[in-house]
Structure formats: structure tokens, C-alpha cells
Amino acid sequence: EELAQRCKGQASAPAGGEEVEEMPAGATASGGTLGHIAWPCTAGRVRPVAKGAESPRGPGPGAPACAPEDEDAPEAQAAWSREERRCVEDLLSALQRARVLPPPEGQLLQVAWSRKLDPEASAALWRQHLEAARCLNVMAVSDEDVRQAYSTGYFVRAGKDVEGRPIIWVRLALSEVPKLTPSLAIRNTWLAQDATLCGSVDANRRGICFVYDLSGVGRKNVTFNLRFLHAAIQGVTAHPMHVSRVW
């Protein structure tokens, strides 16, 4: 109950005219609802937009972790392999024994693949995620702050690599670290990962390909604040996701 109260509340550098998928912003977890607590997944369908177009807006606070129009959960689960089903069952059993709230249905496979279908390790990471969300006060970040941070274009989705991995392109020169709080930076990162993996069997199996673009990076784009760095590392490493390539 205490946790429920505290938690309530695209890659190539695109040329002109090229379509990219921009990160939707603004969706939040459903505060205090079993299975949706402390999971700031973006809801709503990601649509391609032309360069320079306004970023698509996600639904406001209280939206379910994964919108039904993204991919129907039972329909997606029908595509799970026997190994994936067994892992999810064991994952839920482990969380039930520990009396820990489970992930929402749309993220069950995401959590399972975050530790390569090891149910005990996946359950441990989910507990770590809930603790990080509480300690770092991630869910206190407002939707408007998230929208403004994404409007800079530093965190975008840009299709898939040659092996079919979904790509997140991080243009670090567009990120002004002094304007970011640790909790905002962490929530933005979590939202980007969730929007990429949410409800997609194929994306969770293949894992995310991160591309870190250092072009034009200057002093305003980095920080040596140890508290900021410690919080960022704690938040990033606590989030369940399958990353298979980093450039």
C-alpha cells in the first residue's frame, strides 16, 4: 500500500522528408492499480511522422500501461513459445511468493526477456525496478516535463536494423543535461524502452539496438555530478528490457 501511494500519481540521422518514428510522450502507469503500478510504459500507437512534425501525444495520467490498440495482450500471448510461457508462469509464481505486485500483461514478456527467460533473475530485476521507482521518485515526474524533454528530439525511434532489431537513436548533442533532473532522465529512458517493446513478441525476442550519436556533443551535454550519475546508473540498470546491440 505504501508503494502504491508513492508510485501513484527513431536510427539514422533523418534527411529532409524522411519519415522517422518519434517517441510518444505523456502516458503514465495507472496509479495504484494491480499490475500497473510503477510501470511508466507509453500507451497509444506510435505513428510515423515527417521530420519537423509535432511529436505524437500519448494519453494522459491514468492510462493503462499498454493501450489495447497497440497489440491485444491475449492475441500477442498466443504467439509465445512454450519456453516463454513457462518462464512467465514461473516469474509470476516467484513474484507471488515474494508478495510483489506483478507487471501488467503487456510487459510480462518484456520482463521475462530482460534476463533471457530466467524467471528467478527476471523476478529479481522486477523487484529492483519497483525499488528504483520508489527511491528515485520517478513517478513524480510530470507528463509535461516528459513532453518537453522529448520535444528536443534527442531520443527517437528510427525503424529497425538489418537484422530486424528495433532501434532507439540517442542524439546526445540535443540533450541539455543541466535542464534534466535524474528522475526525468530515468523516466524518459524507461518510456522509450517500453514504447519500443510494449506488447511486441518479435521486438522482445530480438532486443533493442541502441545507437548513441556523439556528433556535436559539448560540455552542456555531459555532467560530472556524482549524485546525478549514480541515480542515472541505478535507474537505467533497474529497468527490465532486452538490449541486444549498442553502437
For 102, other C-beta atoms within 10 Å of its C-beta total 20
Residue 116, Ramachandran bin (φ over 0: left; ψ between -120 and 50: alpha; else beta):
left
Answer whether residue 63 is part of any domain: no
Cα dihedral 180→200→108→43 (10° resolution):
50
User: What is the pLDDT, as a whole number, of residue 27?
Assistant: 31
Q: What is the pLDDT of residues 69-128, one digit of tens each?
A: 344 466 778 999 999 999 999 999 999 999 999 999 999 999 999 999 999 999 999 999
Answer whether residue 49 is part of any domain: no
User: What is the pLDDT, as a whole number, of residue 14?
Assistant: 37
Q: How far apart are CA 185 and CA 191, in angstroms?
A: 10
User: What is the pLDDT, as a whole number, of residue 73?
Assistant: 63
Q: How far apart are CA 221 and CA 217, in angstroms?
A: 6
Q: How far apart are CA 39 and CA 106, in angstroms?
A: 11
Amino acid of residue 107:
Q
User: What is the pLDDT, as a whole number, of residue 158?
Assistant: 83
Answer whether residue 18 is part of any domain: yes
**Degrees to nearest 5, angle at CA 33 with 31 and 38:** 50
Answer whether residue 54 is part of any domain: no
Residue 246 has pLDDT above 60, yes or no: yes
Residue 10 has pLDDT above 70, yes or no: no
Spell out where the chain has E strands. 19-22, 48-50, 155-160, 166-171, 208-213, 243-246
**CATH number (domain holding residue 28):** 3.40.525
Cα dihedral 189→37→102→27 (10° resolution):
-50
User: What is the pLDDT, as a whole number, of residue 157?
Assistant: 85
Answer whether residue 124 is part of any domain: yes
Average pLDDT, whole number, for the chain? 75
Q: What is the pLDDT of residues 36-74, one digit of tens each?
A: 223 333 332 222 323 332 332 332 222 223 333 344 466
Answer whether residue 82 is part of any domain: yes
Residue 162 has pLDDT above 70, yes or no: yes
Residue 178 has pLDDT above 80, yes or no: yes
The three cell numbers locating residue 181: 533532473
Total count of domains within the chain: 1
Answer whether residue 48 is part of any domain: no
User: What is the pLDDT, as a whole number, of residue 231?
Assistant: 93
The three cell numbers locating residue 68: 489495447
Query: Which domain, by its residues, includes 11?
Result: 2-38+68-246
User: What is the pLDDT, as a whole number, of residue 199?
Assistant: 82
User: What is the pLDDT, as a whole number, of residue 53?
Assistant: 29
Q: What is the pLDDT of residues 191-208, one digit of tens each?
A: 999 999 988 999 999 999
Answer whether residue 97 is part of any domain: yes
Q: How far apart are CA 194 and CA 42, in angstroms?
A: 6
Burial (CB count <10 Å: 0-12, 13-18, 19+), residue 35: middle
